Every structure is written in structure tokens, then in C-alpha cells.
Amino acid sequence: MGRKILIVEDDQETAGYLARGLAEDGHLVEHSATGQNGLFRATGETFDLIILDRMLPTLDGLSVLRALRAAGITTPVLVLSALASVSDRIEGLDSGSDDYLVKPFSFAELLARANALLRRAEARVGADPKIVVGDLEIDLLARQVFRGGRKIDLKPREYVLLEYFARNHGRVVTRTMLLEQVWNYHFDPGTNVIDVHVSRLRRKLDAGFEVAMIQTIRGAGYMLAA
């Protein structure tokens, strides 16, 4: 079944090329040519995926992305950009994107990545809209987290990190797994990004509780346990 996709791209030729290919794959495609209009559409309508150019008139792509995440919109976002350095990719992913594809790109690869993001989003909800680990409850539909009945406010990346831990509770999760599945880094960024986010998540998750849920497995990674 086709999904609803928003393309935010100022180059008409590229936008048309993407729209035709995605439509041929069965998706419903809409287009915005500026960052400002793209943000307006993305906050006012419901989309299953947003394909977002980084260099846009009126409002650049990363500003659009940060505004979406600040507004609590968790729609998967695939960023397109001619900026290809490791630091550029890290900046895009850390701004809240779910994937980052460098221009020029193969449409076959873009389609594969887009469909993978759509499948991942659908799998998160699945048949059971909740994950329960001990006194921790994650509402997958509302993307809300409760521990001991108390709501815990998390930033988008913290939520995705916790959801991944919860889906693998009782098992060791390695740093490589976290980089690939939570940050979508298929390279070593050479930073302590995992340690920083796990530390922040722990502080929020364990505040007021005697038992710490996220354990560090020395030399291996982390494990979420009740």
C-alpha cells in the first residue's frame, strides 16, 4: 500500500524526478519548494515520510528539521544534501533526521532507504501499541513514556534510544548496534554521542527511583532490565 510522502526540494527537476519515481512505486507524493512552506505543510498535515533537501530558500533544511522535532513531530525524515563530509552527516543526523543521503544519488538507493524508513516506522507500532518492562511503559502510538505511572518527558532521540533498549530488554546492546539502529551511523563518528545520550536518558528514567534500569555491561555495551 502506498504511503503519503512530502518532498521539500527547491530544484524542480530533482523534485519532479523524485515525485515520478515514488509515484510509480505506488506512493502519494506532495511537494514544497521552500523550507518555510515545507515546515507549514509538515506541521499542518500528516505524512508517512518527509524527504528534505538541506539547502533551501527561506528556511534551510536543518532548521526545518529542528523545528519539526521541537514541535514533537516524529515523522521519519530522509535528508538530501550535497554536503558530504562526516561532520555534515553527523550534524544532519543529530538534528533529528532518520537517514542522510548525499547528492548526487541513485534513485534506486533513495527508494530502498525511503521504504526501509517506512517499514521501520510501521514496525514500531506493530500489533501491540505498548512495550512494558517492569514498571516502565512505552506507548508506541502516542510516543509517551511512563515509569511507575509517572510520565517522563523525553526528546525525540532519547525516546528512540529508549524504545530500542526496550525492544531488546534483557539483551546486551552494543555501541555498534546503537550507532546503526538509533543514529543510523554506518561509520564511526569518533565522538561520545552514545555516552552523552545514555547518561541523559538515565537521569530522566531513574530520577526518584531506587533501581536503575539501564545497566552498563563493561566491554560490551548496555542492557535494559527491570
pLDDT of residue 125: 57
Task: Give the three cell numbers for residue 131.
Answer: 512495550
Is the Cβ–Cβ distance between 222 and 165 less than 8 Å? yes
* Whether pTM exceeds 0.85: no
Q: Looking at residue 124, what is its pLDDT? A: 63
Task: Going from the first residue of the chain to its last (226 residues), give the mean pLDDT of each consecutive group of 10, the final group possibly shorter.
Answer: 85 94 88 95 88 95 93 90 91 91 93 90 67 91 88 88 90 87 75 89 92 91 90
Biggest distance spanned by C-alpha atoms of the chain: 58
Strands 144-147 and 150-152: antiparallel
pLDDT of residue 1: 47
pLDDT for 2 equals 60
pLDDT of residue 188: 74
